[in-house]
Amino acid sequence: MNPGISKPSSVTRRQFLRDGARAAGLAGLGGLLGLVAERSTAKGTVWQIDPQKCVRCGNCALYCVLEQSAVKCVHAYALCGYCQLCTGYFEPDPNDLNTGAENCLCPTSAIKRTYIEDPYYEYTIDEQLCIGCAKCVEGCHRFGNGSLFLQVRHDRCLNCNECAIAKVCAGDAFRRVPADQPYLLKTDTF
């Protein structure tokens, strides 16, 4: 190759290749866009726990990227038996059926027990205190109606690209749900 005459031509050749590569890149990007766009959703998705699949392993309290997990216990009041001896609230063999910490299952006293009428008590979750450890959920599931269950609370959830809890979920209960229907609430026992 003679450097004297190859110089201008090499510039145009390179320019030509560059233009071609750019066109190919654009076409590729467009093709990719077309391929995935038909499967896209305009709604967006969020993470949620399927309470029917949850095995109450306790990972939700440990693996969330937030310091205090975005997973909280929620209560389906319509399913609750309003039991005096709530197995989601009390330790397995409580000394006494009162609100003393030594009798309670919840490590953070996040469940409030309110007397309604004899012999019914209402149990409400204080989400500020709940850490999503599922201890009460397990107790309620095992011996009660299963009206307590875990849900990702979307006022807290960062909606990570990949949920750190979903990756370690023992029950394979996490899944992406449409953002406009972000909860999988229990309407049925167990």
Partner 1 sequence: MKIAGRRRKTKGARGRRWALIGGMALLWLLSAVASLAEQRFPPPDFEGGHQLPVTTTPPARALTLDYLDVGVLGLSLGLAIWLVYRRRSRKGLIVLSIFSLLYFGFWRHGCVCAIGSLQNVALALGDRSYALPLAVLAFFVLPLAVAIFAGRIFCAGVCPHGALQDLVLLKPLKVPPGLEAALSVLPFLYLGAGVLFAATGSAFIICEYDPFVPVFRLSGRALMVLSGAALLGLSIFVGRPYCRFLCPYGALLKLAAAVAKWRVRVTPDNCTQCRLCEASCPFGAMREPQARPGTQTHARDRRRLGWLLLLLPLLLAGGGWLGYRFSAPASRLHPTVSLADLLIRAQGSPPKIGALTPDDLALERARQAPQEILAAAAAIQRRFAIGGWIFGAWVGLVFGVKLISVSVHRPRTDYEPDSGDCFACARCFEYCPNELVRRGVIPATTLTAAAPEISGPPGLDRS
Q: Looking at residues 4 to 43 of the shown chain, list those that interact with partner 1 (rule: CB under 8 A).
A: 7, 10-11, 14-15, 18-19, 21-22, 25-26, 29, 32-33, 35-37, 39-43
Calculate the alpha carbon distances from 51 to 4, 15, 107, 110, 178 in Å: 76, 59, 21, 20, 17
Of 51, 49, 54, residue with least CA distance to 76: 51
The number of residues that bind partner 1 (CB under 8 A) is 85
Element (H, E) at 14: helix 3-37
User: What token pair was written down for 16?
Assistant: 């030509």
Establish if 96 lies at the interface with partner 1 (CB under 8 A): no
Q: What tokens appear for 127 in the block? A: 């989400």
* Nearer to partner 1 among residue 66 and residue 109 (C-beta): 66
Counting contacts by CB under 8 A, is residue 113 touching partner 1? no
Shortest gap between Cβ of 155 and partner 1 (angstroms)? 4
Mark 128-167 with x for binding to partner 1 (rule: CB under 8 A) and - for no binding.
Answer: ----------x---xxxx-------xxx-xxxxxx-x--x
Tell me the C-alpha distance between 28 and 167, whole Å.
32
Q: Is 126 in the site for partner 1 (CB under 8 A)?
A: no
Sequence-distant (6+) residues with CB within 8 A of 99 are 113
Q: Which of residues 41-80 bind partner 1 (CB under 8 A)?
A: 41-46, 50, 52-53, 55-59, 65-67, 74-80
Shortest Å, Cβ 47 to partner 1: 10
State in angstroms the smallest separation of the CB of 34 from partner 1.
11
* H or E element in which residue 73 lies: strand 71-75
Q: Is 97 in the site for partner 1 (CB under 8 A)?
A: no
Identity (one letter) of the amino acid at 161?
N
